[in-house]
Amino acid sequence: MTTTLTQTAAAISMRDIHRTYGRGSAEVRAVDGVDIDFPRGSWTAVMGPSGSGKSTLLHIAAGLEHADSGRVFLGDSDITSSSDRQLTALRRSRIGFVFQSFNLVGSLTAEQNVSLPLRLAGRRPSRADVKAALSSVGLADRGRHRPRELSGGQQQRVAIARALVTGPEVLFADEPTGALDTTSAHSVLDLLRATVDAGQTIVMVTHDPAAAARADSTVFLRDGRVVDHLAGASAGALAARLVQLEA
């Protein structure tokens, strides 16, 4: 079931989202009443101290996890009321997700990894589409390589190609540069920037103020709540805000 809103400028809207883990004295309010809009065609970074609810919020926004209460809209679709089957279909076609640890299938080549989401969605990937996806991340000549034959930065770029190959409305990334050296991180951030400049919407969790500074704006979480939102801030300003929140 989908509920239609009149006019949504946001790619993703979250309304009064709550998610609690555990019970009694072990209860943790991972997300504690979040209202947020992620604008279309824009790159939003999500920062906050460890345990502030960043990953939980991202997983709920991406339909990887259910909220206890609240609503999530992907464009005009209310995904909160989607069944697990509908969510699976949605994740395969309308959402891309990139993980810190790349999560490529080790036994498959780069080309096969990239074509996987298309196969899962019941589409027959053309070699040209898969090659174009790899070429767009600068890896046209690495299609036959398996993940272990690629550097970390190259593996993450394959993962980004895989996440984008279905043409998702939103690309989510949880610490996409967290496992990379500075140079590789740079190439991944350059790629994300180019993708947004071409119209993609990105929501990215990061610890790294230099990574967040490449985004258009940064949302700060603490204790499961949005406590700040800075647009166009420098890495220094973002680092200073994070240190304040960690105190």
Ligand X SMILES: Nc1ncnc2c1ncn2[C@@H]1O[C@H](COP(=O)(O)OP(=O)(O)O)[C@@H](O)[C@H]1O
Binding mask 48-87 for ligand X (x = CB under 6 A): x-xxxxxxx-------------------------------
Report the nearest approach of Mg ion to the CB of residue 102 (Å): 16
| 149 Cβ contact list (under 8 Å, min separation 6) | none
Using the minimum distance from each CB to Mg ion, give the nearer residue, 2 or 55.
55
Residues in 23-42 that interact with ligand X by CB under 6 A: 28, 30
Q: Which does 25 bind (CB under 5 to 8 A by kind): ligand X, Mg ion, none?
A: none
53 binds, among Mg ion, ligand X, none (CB under 5 to 8 A by kind): ligand X
Task: Tell me: does residue 100 bind Mg ion (CB under 5 A).
Answer: no
- Per-residue string for binding with Mg ion, 47-86, x by CB under 5 A? -------xx-------------------------------
Query: Cα(75)–Cα(95) distance, rounded to whole angstroms?
Result: 11
On whether the CB atoms of residues 18 and 70 are closer than 8 A, the answer is yes
Q: Which residues contact 117 (CB under 8 A, 6 or more apart)?
A: 92, 162, 163, 165, 166
Between residues 99 and 131, which has the closer beta carbon with respect to Mg ion? 99
Our finding on whether 21 is near ligand X (CB under 6 A) is: yes
Which residue type is seen at 7? Q
Residues that contact ligand X, how many (by CB under 6 A): 12
28 binds, among Mg ion, ligand X, none (CB under 5 to 8 A by kind): ligand X
* Residues 6 or more apart whose Cβ sits within 8 Å of residue 205: 45, 46, 47, 54, 55, 58, 173, 174, 175
Beta bridge partners of 71: 15
Examine residue 176 and tell whether it contacts ligand X (CB under 6 A).
no
- The C-alpha atoms of residue 160 and residue 98 are separated, in whole angstroms, by 6
Q: What is the largest CA-CA distance in the chain?
A: 55
Binding region for ligand X (CB under 6 A): 21-22, 28, 30, 48, 50-56
Binding region for Mg ion (CB under 5 A): 54-55
